[in-house]
Chain A
Amino acid sequence: MMATPEVEAQIDQWRTYVQRRQAISTADVDEMEDHLREQVADLTATGLDDDEAFLVAVKRMGNLDEVSREFAREHSDRLWKQLVLVPAGPGAGRGDRSWRELAVVLALAVGAGLAVKVAALTMTDETVLLRNVSLLVLPFLAGYFAWKRRLTWGVGAVLAAPFVVLAVVLNVYPFAPDGSTLLLAALHAPVVLWALVGIAYVGGRWRSDAGRMDFARFTGELAIYFTLLALGGGVLLGLTFGTLNLVGIDPEPFLEAWILPFAVPGALVVAAWLVEAKQNVVENIAPVLTRVFTPLTIVMLVVLFVVLATAGSLLDTDRGLLILMDAILVLVLCLLLYSVSARDPLSPPHLFDGLLLALVVAALAVDAVALTAMATRIAEFGFSPNKVAALGLNVLLLVHLVGSTVLLAGFLRRRRPFAALGRWQTQFLPVYAVWAAVVVVVFPPVFGFV
């Protein structure tokens, strides 16, 4: 009772059409398809030709909107997308892979925890541990992507070489204890390592703009999922500790010795896995936050601008101002980056793009005031590693933002495609990694390891 190829094609088409309804699950479509086929078969038996039979059968099935609404009323849960991490039941092949992935993730998470724990036991000096912690944890994250993307040994070697260089620099350079170059190196090393994780993430295609943008999206989602895991973990710990304290047990030492060294690195690896798993199931949240915070940030920047511009001499402000400025510019860049990451490059300019431009311009204005103050200060007191590092980053951020402003304004005036703005973002990202590498590797010898 096989239908003709034409009817098969029509049924296929109908199936895809029905399947687009979120409230109707695949199993329901199977059930209705069975119904449709029987109906078609019966109708052809009464003398209708295939086309007519199909049309009548579909018509009898009813208005799809109404049927779908009825399904939604019965299965309202289906309107909420559920993330299935490890498919249960007879999904066979895919389930196996998911279980294996879960095993790999858990092993890597425990591995990262073990690495930190062993280091904590062997490195008695806490600052040594702090400066090495990213070196201990991030390889496990990179390892996950190396496994997942089936990285070649060549790429693996390319990743390992800078890693080793970083490890050597951080531990062999004769840093002055508590010197600022040491602190700068420790702060900038994770940025370089994160770029290496990015190369693993894109499976070695580090030249690809799309790949870089994917990694930027991944980073944003990872930050959010990690925060969520940390919040959940915090609640769980708080409840446990409260109870233990009541019965007279002090869990503090156990927390520091065992829970934190395993939970924090483990959560990072698990968060990466969650982001990978949810990628095409759940919408990205970073761009949503961007939408909420862009107008608020504009207000904040305007307030800052007024305060800074009317504060009189900023000569007395310390280098903290420059660091804060860097933080603000980073924030603005993140807002810009995640807005760009979620936008359809082909849609025409609209209000939000104008808001973005206002945001970037406001940030530039605030930065101009702060930079003037800092320039006077540097002219007065000379350079220090901290100032040069902060100033260097500021210059990079400034170039990045000015470029974005020009491209965004061009887009709003319909002179340039939106894609140019996206490309500018992704092309500029590696510059930060290079700068961080310079701060780690070049700064200490130049400034005499102070």
Chain B
Amino acid sequence: MRIDKDLVAASATPLVLGILAEGESYGYAIVKRVNDLSDGHMQWTDGMLYPLLHRLERLGLVEASWGVSDVGRRRKHYALTPAGHEALAERRAQWQVVADALQQVWKDMGDTQAPRTVAEGWA
């Protein structure tokens, strides 16, 4: 199942904020976490994550610091700021509303059209 591009884009910020709420992380680890969480269905364009992280940094929602990976490479780590926690809470409330509304609609439609999962290999 391929997730619609707009949906991926819309959910990117709350996902990143949520993942960073679990603790400090860095680019590749965030992408991997998204993959795990969505069972590989949400395929991000990896390069796009960085402009997003930089925007969140500019908005003051995350804090970046350069560290070193276990093999000694320079690595930029991101952590959620208090403002980021607030933004996350707000986004969460918004998504909750959206999810509840969708839930209602699905229920009203009945279980006639159950979601079909297609095993999709690596792109």
A→B interface (CB under 8 Å): 1-2, 27-28, 30-35, 37-39, 42, 56, 59-64, 66-67, 70-71, 73-75
Contact = CB atoms under 8 A, between A and B. Distances in A.
Contacts of B7: none
State which size class the interface on B falls in: 20 to 34
Contacts of A34: 26-28, 69, 73-76
Nearest to A61: B47
Interface stretch (B51-59, B89-97, B109-117): B51-59
Nearest to B75: A34
A70 B51 contact: yes
A2 B73 CA distance: 11
Contacts of A56: 122
Contact of B45 (A2, A38, A66, A74): A66
Contacts of A64: 47
B48 A38 contact: no
Tell me the dominant secondary structure on chain A's binding face: helix
Interface string B62-100: 000000010101111000000000000000000000000
B50 A71 contact: yes
Given A56-B122, A61-B45, A61-B46, A35 B27 contact: yes
B78 to A, nearest CB: 10
B123 interface: yes
A67 B122 CA distance: 21
Contact of A39 (B26, B46, B76): B46
Contact of B58 (A27, A37, A67, A74): A74
Nearest to A37: B73
Contacts of A32: 27, 47, 50
A67 B51 contact: yes
A35 B71 contact: no
Given A34-B27, A61-B45, A62-B48, A1 B71 contact: yes
The 9 closest A-B pairs by CB, nearest first: A62-B45, A67-B47, A62-B47, A70-B51, A38-B28, A61-B47, A35-B28, A74-B51, A60-B46
Given A30-B74, A59-B123, A35 B54 contact: no
A240 to B, nearest CB: 37
A37 to B, nearest CB: 7
B50 A28 contact: yes
A62 B46 contact: yes
A31 B78 CA distance: 12
Contacts of B48: 62, 66-67, 70
Contacts, number: 68
Interface of B: 26-28, 31-32, 43, 45-48, 50-52, 54-55, 58, 69, 71, 73-76, 122-123
Given A39-B28, A60-B123, 8 more contacts: A34-B26, A35-B46, A60-B43, A60-B45, A63-B45, A64-B47, A67-B50, A75-B54
A33 B55 CA distance: 20
B88 to A, nearest CB: 20
A74 B81 CA distance: 20
Contacts of A37: 73
Which of A34, A59, A62, A75 has the most B CB atoms < 10 Å from its CB? A34
B75 to A, nearest CB: 5
A74 B48 CA distance: 11
15 contacts: A2-B71, A28-B50, A28-B54, A30-B74, A31-B76, A32-B47, A34-B69, A34-B73, A34-B75, A39-B46, A56-B122, A60-B123, A62-B47, A67-B50, A71-B51
A173 to B, nearest CB: 66
Nearest to B66: A27
Contacts of A31: 27, 50, 75-76
Contacts of B76: 27, 30-31, 34
B36 to A, nearest CB: 12
A41 to B, nearest CB: 9
Contacts of B51: 67, 70-71, 73-74
Nearest to B54: A74
A39 B31 CA distance: 10
Nearest to A74: B51
A111 to B, nearest CB: 42
A62 B48 CA distance: 8
Which of A2, A32, A33, A66 has the most B CB atoms < 10 Å from its CB? A32
Which of A35, A59, A63, A67 has the most B CB atoms < 10 Å from its CB? A35
Nearest to B45: A62
A37 B31 CA distance: 14
B104 to A, nearest CB: 35
Contacts of B52: 70
B54 to A, nearest CB: 5
Given A31-B50, A60-B46, A67-B48, A74 B73 contact: no
A341 to B, nearest CB: 39
